[in-house]
Amino acid sequence: MAKKLERVGIAGASSLVGKELAEELQESVLAAATVILLDEGDAAGQLETVADEVTFVQKMEPAAFEGMDFVFFAGDPEATKRHWRDAGRWGASIVDTTYALEGEKGVLVRSPWVQDEATTKPDLKTPGVVSAHPVAVMLGLVAKQMQTGLKVHSLAATVMQPASEHGRAAMDELHQQTVNLLSFQPLPKDEYDAQVAFNLLPAFGEEAKVKLSTTAERVRKHYAAIGGDAFPKLALTVIQVPVFHGYAISVMVELQELASQEQVETALACDQIDLVMDDVDPPSNLSAAGQRDVLVRVTAEPAEAAVATRFWLWMTADNLKLTALNAIACAMELRKLRPVGSVQ
């Protein structure tokens, strides 16, 4: 008997996260699975490449989820709300990267790299999981690692958010604003209701389609959800920066006891964190692009101190790749709950 091939759906396949998921699935345990691309509107019927093969993007409708083992929702949050129960009725394990299912009964926020046995794990009654926000994953990794060898009092983070956090339309508006400013033309402001090109903002205009406060609140909630009572207190602010891709975070870590920079670096070491030492170029959103790890540089406060209770962490990560990798890790967690089938 041959093992049954798994079927994986990407709902919202034309989105930035959807495309990243399609790519990362080919490098995962699900590489042998059949990947079905789904979307709505003009995206349905288009051609995309998956595993070097050209495939059609199918229309997202209830019958499209038949026979699927996993469905990643990666497009419009409203589409997720319309179709996630359809996928569930066909028996698919659901991973939501759009955050539309936050607050739905029984749905859990997950980051398997970060969470331990103290947090609630999915079971057979779990209708789906929300993949934790990439910033919550980054901060959660720091909190988890440092708590293992050091006593951490608190984290204070300034998060620099890229345009790709809000999807293709937001990236296009940043691009067009940049072009128009250089040619002294009026600025499009449909997405941000503000000038984001060549600018730093703690908030957008009143008519903006997106809000920085939404991101900040989501990160706080997800950090608490994946850390439970074990994580240190978090103070957080989010700044929109005029870059297209990649998160950067400046974090002040306050310890309860004196420690050396080497001790902090040793505590942070893990598979998902790439420590960048002082003798090489510092992490940046450019150097993080395409990287699977979170890049981190540690600096004592003050910098010349042999031991200290305060340390700066400069962290960067590819937000789309980190979202895709965490979502796939969530699917692997759900996979353990699924029946193992075979075909004759």
Which of 37-41, 158-162, 205-209 is predicted least confidently?
37-41
Phi, psi (5° rounding) for residue 179? -60, -45
Topology of domain 2-131+324-343 in CATH is Rossmann fold (3.40.50)
pLDDT at 343 over 60: no
Looking from the CA of 252 toward its CB, the CA atoms found within 13 Å total 11
Predicted TM-score (pTM) of the model is: 0.93
Q: List the one residue out of 312, 322, 310, 254 whose CA is nearest residue 285.
A: 322
Cis peptide before 188 (omega within 30 of 0): no
Topology of domain 136-319 in CATH is Dihydrodipicolinate Reductase; domain 2 (3.30.360)
pLDDT in tens, 48-59: 666 667 777 888
pLDDT at 304 (0 to 100): 86
Distances from the Cα of 298 to the Cα of 88, 206, 246, 266, 307, angstroms = 44, 38, 19, 11, 13
pLDDT in tens, 253-292: 999 999 999 999 999 999 999 999 988 999 999 999 999 9
pLDDT at 186 over 70: yes
pLDDT at 341 (0 to 100): 53
Domain segments of the chain: what residues? 2-131+324-343, 136-319
pLDDT at 148 over 70: yes
